[in-house]
Chain A
């Protein structure tokens, strides 16, 4: 996945947060996921929002130090994350895990307009 440009960030954010069919429940879900990544000690390095303006899913890419690997259990137990992909990074010895989290697929929960 390519690093998102700032123009894209601005466009995505505005389109995403201004969408007329954005429900309070959805915003609550996304905020809750963010707070969980804070709590897990994940260092977020990028985001992607898919399906603007309907936005179907958000993928968050983060890095987790090897020492904090115990946090995986917490992430796995959290139902908000629909898909979790973990990559070992660092050569020759791994020094962090790259974690790609897919936050709740939400289109089906959004009210139709």
Chain B
């Protein structure tokens, strides 16, 4: 996700621009949360093979990627998690894991944590709200037991899925995170996909909610500047306008070669099927770069992607940018979510490459 302060986040590798591979090795989870965009749930057996993942991760380091972000499903339910984080650490990566914090007890978790640089624990609010969203009484208490393990042993933070009225609890959340000695609070707006569409389908953000969240974030980030970094995945249109991170101007079109790839796509996604995608989880399969089981070299997949799809990516970013600039009502926006939605409307799965990209 792009954020105004993303690259200065103190929890990421100092002095390096973070280029993240976000891995969803399985959709298996010990919970069945109401807002889960990946519809993860207990009993999903399928998971990505360690060898195929390690092969791609090794090659991605040569292309410039330097952070592994494990997501899911619940990463601590992935059988090969220890092997994977040990491997990526040895390949020079900064390892981060997003977890519900309920499986952090025991020797297996302890061994895994040795190779992890940052843990992000998800939190939905105060106890009652958290347990409600997690569809499990006692989830909050168990998460806090996990946090107690992290507090004194590892750099960790919280991640909160923003709902339209989250502004009411943001100051509580920031105070809680500071008291729990977390170094990061990441605020990510609810994504209307997966199980969220079934359970929370009616919950749409209006601009008033977004203003309130934006103002609260700024206020709290200012106040707690020395205690915690609070990252918000929402942007004001003023900070998007003419910003080359969001639209490729004629004067600074990206280098269309494999070595320029990680500079353009600071996040690479490996989903639960092994598909490699740019932008974010849930982006149209039209933009699939390749698959970890294909046996192709990553450099080759990237080269082909740059040649065949980069023109469409430029169109997609431009269309999203134009959409925001033309609609004066859209002041606070979730850029990634808008790009994902547009990727599906402009480039549905069925679309064939029967026209030449404009490059």
Partner-B contacts on A (CB < 8 A): 4, 6, 9-10, 13-14, 17-18, 24, 27-28, 30-32, 34-36, 38-39, 44-47
Residues of B within 8 A of A34 (CB): 214-215, 218, 236
CB distance from B324 to the nearest CB of A (A): 13
- A46 nearest in chain B by CB position: B222
Q: Is the CB of B236 within 8 A of A35?
A: yes
The stretch of B13-21, B204-212, B251-259 in contact with A is: B204-212
Q: Do B208 and A24 have beta carbons less than 8 Å apart? A: yes
B317-331 vs A, CB cutoff 8 Å, 1 = contact: the mask equals: 000000000000001
CB-nearest residue of chain A to B5? A38
Contact partners of A46 in chain B: CB under 8 A: 222-223
B312 on interface, CB distance cutoff 8 Å:
no
Given A24-B208, A36-B238, also A31-B332 (CB < 8 A): yes
Partner of A30, one of B172, B211, B222, B225: B211
Tell me the complex Cα distance, A53–B301, Å: 58
A36 to B172 Cα, complex, angstroms: 27
- Selected contact of A9 from candidates B171, B207, B239, CB within 8 Å: B171
Contact B4 A10 (CB under 8 A): no
B11 interfacial contact with A, CB 8 Å: no
User: In the complex, what residues of B have CB within 8 A of residue A6's CB?
Assistant: 175, 223
Nearest residue, chain B, Cβ from A5: B223
Q: Are A44 and B222 in contact (CB under 8 A)?
A: yes
Q: Which of B290-346 contact A (CB under 8 A)?
A: 331-332
**Complex Cα gap A18–B208 (Å):** 11
Of B170, B215, B218, B239, the residue contacting A27 (CB under 8 A) is B215
Size of chain B's interface in residues, with CB distance under 8 A? 26
The interface residues of chain B, by DSSP majority, are classed as: helix
CB distance from A47 to the nearest CB of B (A): 6
| Cα distance, A28 to B331, chains bound together (Å) | 8
- Given A9-B220, A24-B207, A27-B215, A32 and B168 contact (CB-CB distance below 8 Å): no
Question: Are B211 and A24 in touch, CB under 8 angstroms?
Answer: yes
Q: Which of B175, B207, B239 contacts A35 (CB 8 A)?
A: B239
> Do residues A4 and B171 form an inter-chain contact, with CB atoms below 8 A?
no
A39 touching B171 in the complex, CB below 8 Å, given contacts A24-B211, A46-B222, A47-B222: no
B167 close to chain A: CB less than 8 A: yes
Smallest CB-CB separation from B221: which chain A residue?
A: A44
- Interface pair B238/A32, CB less than 8 Å apart: yes
Bits for B218-241, please: 1 = Cβ < 8 Å to A, else 0: 111011010000000000111100
13 more CB-based (< 8 A) A-B contacts, given A39-B238, A39-B239, A47-B223: A6-B175, A10-B171, A13-B171, A13-B216, A14-B168, A17-B212, A24-B211, A27-B207, A28-B207, A45-B225, A46-B223, A47-B219, A47-B222
Task: Show 20 A/B contacts (Cβ-Cβ < 8 Å), sorted by A.
Answer: A9-B171, A9-B220, A9-B223, A13-B170, A13-B220, A14-B171, A17-B216, A27-B212, A28-B207, A31-B211, A31-B236, A32-B236, A32-B238, A34-B218, A34-B236, A35-B237, A38-B236, A39-B238, A45-B225, A47-B219
Q: Contact between A31 and B214 (Cβ–Cβ < 8 Å)? A: yes
- B residues in contact with A9, CB < 8 Å: 171, 219-220, 223
Which of A14, A28, A36, A45 sits near B211, CB closer than 8 Å? A28
Q: Quick one: closest A residue to B215, CB to CB?
A: A30
B273 to chain A, nearest CB (A): 38
Residue ID in chain A nearest B217 by CB atoms:
A34
Q: Which residues of A contact B175 (CB under 8 A)?
A: 6, 10
> Given the complex, which residues of B lie within 8 Å of A47, measured CB to CB?
219, 222-223
Q: How far is the CA of A45 from the CA of B222 in the complex (A)?
A: 6
Chain A residues with Cβ below 8 Å from B219 are 9, 13, 47
Given contacts A6-B223, A10-B175, contact A35 B212 (CB under 8 A): no
Whether B331 pairs with A32 at a CB distance below 8 angstroms is: yes
What residues on B are CB-neighbors of A39 within 8 Å? 238-239
B108 to chain A, nearest CB (A): 38
Contact of B4 among A14, A38, A45 (CB under 8 A): A38
Q: Which of A13, A35, A45 is close to B238, meaning CB atoms less than 8 Å apart?
A: A35
* Shortest Cβ-Cβ A-B pairs, 10 listed: A35-B236, A27-B211, A35-B238, A10-B171, A44-B222, A34-B218, A17-B212, A31-B211, A31-B214, A9-B223
